[in-house]
Amino acid sequence: MKRKRLCKIVATLGPASSDKETITALFEAGVDTFRLNFSHGTHADHKERYDLIREVEKESDRPIAVLMDLQGPKLRVGRFVNDSAELTNGSTFKLDMKDELGDANRATLPHKEIFDALEVGTDLLLDDGRIRLRVTGLSGTEATTEVVVGGVLSNNKGVNVPGVVLPLSALTEKDLLDMEFGLELGCDWCALSFVQRPEDVMEARKLVNGRAGVMAKLEKPSAIEQLEAIVELTDAVMVARGDLGVELPPENVPVLQKRIIGTCREHGKPVIVATQMLETMVSAPTPTRAEASDVATAVYDGADAVMLSAESASGAYPFEAVTMMNRIIETIEQDPLYLKLVHADEVLPNPTEADAISDAARHVADLVDAKAIVTFTTTGSTAFRAARGRPNTPLLGLTPDLRVARKMALVWGVHSVNTRDVSSFGEMVGKSTRIARREGFCENGDKVVVTAGVPFGTPGATNNLRIATVGQHEKPDPVA
């Protein structure tokens, strides 16, 4: 199951992809990480899907990452008489907290925090920006607005407040319950929706307490304003372009996508590009050329992973969507221009022993024509650091911790393997060459570059580099 590409694929599971046969097919087609979207489905649904993923993992003998994506404080209007109402341009429309069905004159907005943060002149975007209201008056928990852009507003549509930092935690009561459930299941990554400030990430890290990697979804302009601080605090980032494209002009999103990817690479944090990547394939067996170019752009930018949402969760062609995404990535990465663009903005190593060794491994591998860079890691940090430089040589991440092997399945270029622990550097070198050969990276006589930290088990202590020739001085290790 050695992939022929470096950028990883994340696919969301849902009604269209909840049986073992489909999950197996998606994994074999190229999925490295499966996403459980807690905005939909029950805990029982998610457990069933999680258990099936682990069955596929066991049968394939390949670590698979599972990402739980929390809903976050999604703001929505209430329900309407006859399920919808038409708002006309220039008319007055009120938002309040009354527990009554809405109509063409008013609707319920059951979020007191919004009323506390609103000011006269603030714009509200409803239904993914299709309807725009402008606040003209405020009175306690009631806002009078002018309909700037009208349309049909139906039950429970989302509300965005561009440019306003809302006094809301990124974790609702539902999220706290979902988080604990997902952590008990064994999810490897926990995605935090609607991050607005660094404190949101700090709160989540405290609650997760090392049981999974914390991922910040960037979909609020306020988060972009504190991008460096948020990236420093989190373990990974998702460029959630849906809400980001609602609250900001669409033309700004590609610029921010590149900026976020660049910042994540500088900090050595995995970054996923998400939302509407192959949206047409929800209902069609092929994407538009523009969608193929969208995926290609994320790959050229050096993203760690690209993600499918409705395409694989509820679409009519989940297998075809994964297959298409896999084909696009493979094609782009075979382009001679690919590595030139990925290395155009060289990421300089930090002045640490670990970064010095990882950077040296990349250059040494190029000089001796090594077939793989093998990192032995207990926390994944060595592999994350090696991937940061986007080396020309394939990366093989070995770890005695299955949870770490799963987390590394999300990281650019890393082929992760769960293996037994070692007690000496020499033993580790022998194990590295055997596994590199077994996994299809090399043959006898080829060279590999091996990095690790001594003493073993010390997080972030990468301080050794060895050039090893495959097949030399290897002891039999049938359980490698």
Task: Report the pLDDT averaged over residues 78-83.
Answer: 94
Answer yes or no: is pLDDT of 43 > 90: yes
Give the amino acid at 166: L
Portion of the chain with pLDDT greater than 70, in percent: 97
pLDDT given for residue 173 in this prediction: 94
Answer yes or no: is pLDDT of 348 > 70: yes
Answer yes or no: is pLDDT of 462 > 80: no
pLDDT given for residue 247 in this prediction: 84
461 or 101, which is more confident?
101
Encoded tokens for 393: 């040589």
152 or 452, which is more confident?
152
pLDDT given for residue 461 in this prediction: 64
Same fold, 8-73+169-333 and 353-469: no
What CATH number belongs to 81-160? 2.40.33.10
In CATH, what is the architecture of 8-73+169-333? Alpha-Beta Barrel (3.20)
Q: Output the CA–CA distances (angstroms, integers) from residue 367 to 243, 371, 378, 449, 471, in the order listed.
A: 45, 11, 28, 11, 20
Answer yes or no: is pLDDT of 249 > 80: yes
In CATH, what is the architecture of 353-469? 3-Layer(aba) Sandwich (3.40)
Residues involved in catalysis = 35, 76, 217, 275
pLDDT given for residue 75 in this prediction: 87
pLDDT given for residue 445 in this prediction: 95
Least confident of 9-13, 454-458, 461-465: 454-458
Answer yes or no: is pLDDT of 117 > 70: yes
Cis peptide before 455 (omega within 30 of 0): yes
Task: Report the pLDDT averaged over residues 221-242.
Answer: 95
CA atoms in the 13 A half-sphere facing the CB of 303? 26
pLDDT given for residue 167 in this prediction: 84
Distance CA 437, CA 431 (A): 10
Answer yes or no: is pLDDT of 180 > 80: yes
Least confident of 8-12, 158-162, 214-218, 395-399: 158-162
pLDDT given for residue 342 in this prediction: 87
Q: Is the pTM of this model over 0.75?
A: yes
DSSP per-residue letters across 430-452: HHHHHHHHHTTS--TT-EEEEEE
pLDDT given for residue 479 in this prediction: 45
Encoded tokens for 446: 């080829």
pLDDT given for residue 453 in this prediction: 73
pLDDT given for residue 344 in this prediction: 82
Q: How confident is the model at residue 421 (pLDDT cuts 50, 70, 90)?
A: confident
pLDDT given for residue 426 in this prediction: 83
Answer yes or no: is pLDDT of 269 > 50: yes
pLDDT given for residue 306 in this prediction: 98
DSSP per-residue letters across 362-409: HHHHHHHT-SEEEEE-SSSHHHHHHHHT--SS-EEEEES-HHHHHHHT
Q: How confident is the model at residue 476 (pLDDT cuts 50, 70, 90)?
A: low
Portion of the chain with pLDDT greater than 90, in percent: 78
Mean pLDDT of the chain: 93
Q: How confident is the model at residue 350 (pLDDT cuts 50, 70, 90)?
A: confident
30 or 429, which is more confident?
30
Task: Report the pLDDT averaged over residues 421-438.
Answer: 89
Distance CA 100, CA 85 (A): 14
Q: Where are the domains of the chain?
A: 8-73+169-333, 81-160, 353-469
Give the amino acid at 249: P
pLDDT given for residue 460 in this prediction: 58
Q: How confident is the model at residue 337 (pLDDT cuts 50, 70, 90)?
A: very high
